[in-house]
Chains A and B, each alone.
Chain A
Amino acid sequence: MSDQTRAAAADGSRFEPVILGFTCNWCSYRAADLAGTARIGYPPNIRLVRLMCSGRLDPTFVLAAFARGADGVVVSGCWPGECHYQVQNLRMLGRFLLLRRTIARLGIEPARLQLVWASAAEGQRFAREIARITEEVRALGPLGWSAATDGAAGDLAGVLEAAAGAEAADGAAPALPAEPVDGADPASPAEPVEVAR
């Protein structure tokens, strides 16, 4: 979550979620394209990534999106039976359902991960679904996963400094230098990679 979003949430103005959408080349991306050509408006919160097929969706993509600041993820493909690659959208459906169950166990509301079937002719439907999902994710509030996990790592740095200080003051235990950790240290203030706004 960016400082901008955090500030907006803090002063009570409307929260604008970042949603990442994965569409397939043959149906759902063309539905989005049709919505654009037909000048059907839908919220700009979604950023679309075009895959050749929804079956290409690796759950890694979804988890990486949440880990790096997305508040919601939409997976979109051809209707069952209409996949350009025969059954790959059905393979995706199986992965999607198992992934949704898994993220719920990890503390992510299942509504943050949604599935939309859309044919190339369904620009209207695609726009309506994106609008609905945007409002649902807005109501859930920021996910703030990177802030949450960086927060835990920040605690690590703080706890270590405190422990080193206490030992030095006590003199009983050897003091370990509280040097800054470099390299792969998650406690470093390096910006988490955020989804582009």
Chain B
Amino acid sequence: MTVDAPARPRLAVYWAAACGGCDIAILNLHERILDVASAFEIVFWPAVMDVKYADVEAMLDGWIDLCLFTGSIRSTENAALARLLRRKARFLVAFGSCAGEGCIPGLANLSSLDDLLEAAFEGPSTDNPDHLRPVETWPTPSGDLHLPSLLPRLHTLDQVVPVDWTVPGCPPESARIAEVVTLAAAAFRGDVPVPPAGAVLGAGHSTVCDECLRERHPKSIDGFTRIQALETIDPRLCLLEQGIPCNGSATRDGCGALCPAAGAPCIGCYGAPDGVRDAGARLLAAFGSIIGEGDESDIERRQATLLDPVGRAYRFGLARSLLGGARLPHAADGGGAPGNGAGVPVPAGVPVPAGEPVSAGVGGAER
């Protein structure tokens, strides 16, 4: 397939609920950013230039050739811009882990909106004697001011609008970004076929283990540890065999296995490899089966050394996982005990799941 495009295809880059790291990763192309600027006409990029939303609305539908969309969908503003840019762009790319799978902000799907606001606006490090909270509408003499509302849950870009391609990574490695941009420019020139819808660009198809140079053996460990608890780490041996939970076995390759090469475990930022729907489930399978044999209580005791399994296995992929987050009380249920989502009262005596460390925001997943 080839596409018609102007001599310089038009490029947009947008950040929704993101940290800005993806924009920095793009700018980390260094002098190659000039190649991007000469290959593309940059028409919208809030991180580096001043173009208003109204300017984007004035563009014809499909006028933007390529939109790199970073960040997840947390607010009505994020969602509105996702829908706007979907209309204006011929090719919409879920760029980076937030847009693709929810990333760290997706861990907020373990908590209710009220709890998130409580954590952000109260708490020991916050001085908020009047218990102020953001309000969506504020009257002023010259008219009402509006803030976007927060959505009940965080969504990935493809849960809100159709996405053409995905570029994984938190953030994507700059060398791989250069490949993607070069590929897109060549495709718009007609030099190479346009990648098919749903393609994952700027990454491999296998796992980080395939790129990792550490030696691997059949695994059986007594328990997990934290990397900071070890006096020495064998520089050649698989980290998982040393009891360090490493997400490489269910994480897409493409980064060059940078973390394990530096002696740190893979944390899973490139998302699920080809053929895997839910990387967290595969990590639970891996972590669960390498604890040696024993009876139930023995295995449970040793598995307890794996802290915060949700934050570990779903650090980047929770929002797009099969379950998408935790089951929370619906507003319609009036809060209280964990609702069953159907408005049916939970029978008395049902154990309320608790006791696991909180992953999102408040406690922070261990690294």
Contacts and interface: CB of A to CB of B under 8 A. Distances in A.
Interface of A: 1, 6, 9-10, 58-60, 62-64, 66-67, 87, 90-99, 101-111, 139-145, 147-149, 151-153, 155-156, 159-160, 163-164, 166-167, 170, 172-174, 176-177, 179, 181-186
Nearest to A138: B347
B204 interface: no
Contacts of B84: 176
B277 interface: yes
Interface residues of B, number: 69
Given A59-B281, A152-B153, A170-B144, A105 B350 contact: no
A152 B276 CA distance: 25
B76 A159 contact: yes
B324 interface: yes
- Top 9 A-B pairs ranked by shortest CB distance? A148-B341, A107-B327, A183-B162, A95-B288, A98-B288, A144-B342, A105-B356, A59-B281, A104-B353
Nearest to B197: A183
B229 interface: no
Nearest to B321: A63
Given A93-B299, A105-B309, A185-B161, 5 more contacts: A64-B322, A101-B356, A102-B310, A149-B325, A182-B162
A174 B52 CA distance: 11
Given A160-B79, A172-B146, A105 B353 contact: yes
Contacts of A147: 341-342
A102 B355 CA distance: 11
Tell me if A's interface is mostly helix, strand, loop or mixed. Answer: helix
Contacts of B296: 93, 97
The interface centre, meaning the residue of A97, A106, A185 with most chain B CB atoms within 10 A of its CB, is A106
10 contacts: A67-B322, A93-B299, A106-B310, A107-B326, A108-B323, A143-B341, A151-B341, A170-B146, A185-B159, A185-B162
A142 B323 contact: no
B284 A95 contact: yes
A186 B327 CA distance: 17
Contacts of A182: 162
A120 B136 CA distance: 63
Interface of B: 53-54, 57, 76, 79-80, 83-84, 87, 110, 143-144, 146, 148-149, 151-153, 155, 158-163, 276-278, 281-282, 284-285, 287-291, 293, 296, 299-300, 303, 306, 309-310, 313, 321-328, 330, 338-342, 344-347, 350-351, 353, 355-356
B152 A155 contact: yes
Nearest to A100: B300
A149 to B, nearest CB: 5
Nearest to B86: A181
B322 A186 contact: no
B76 A102 contact: no
Contacts of B151: 155-156, 159
Contact of B288 (A99, A142, A155, A156): A99
B139 to A, nearest CB: 12
B310 A144 contact: no
A58 B350 contact: no
Contacts of B148: 163
Given A144-B344, A179-B83, A105 B291 contact: no
A185 B325 contact: no
A9 B342 CA distance: 10
A151 B284 CA distance: 27
A186 B159 contact: yes
A110 B282 contact: no
Contact of B282 (A58, A64, A106, A109): A58
B326 A185 contact: no
Given A60-B277, A151-B330, A172-B146, A105 B299 contact: no
B326 to A, nearest CB: 4
A186 B155 contact: yes
Contacts of B162: 182-185
B323 A60 contact: no
A106 B309 contact: no
B149 A159 contact: yes
B288 A108 contact: no
A68 B344 CA distance: 18
A63 B288 contact: no
Nearest to A150: B341
B298 to A, nearest CB: 10
B299 A145 contact: no
Scoring A92, A107, A159 by chain B CB atoms within 10 A of each residue's CB, the highest score goes to: A107
A82 to B, nearest CB: 14
A145 B341 contact: yes
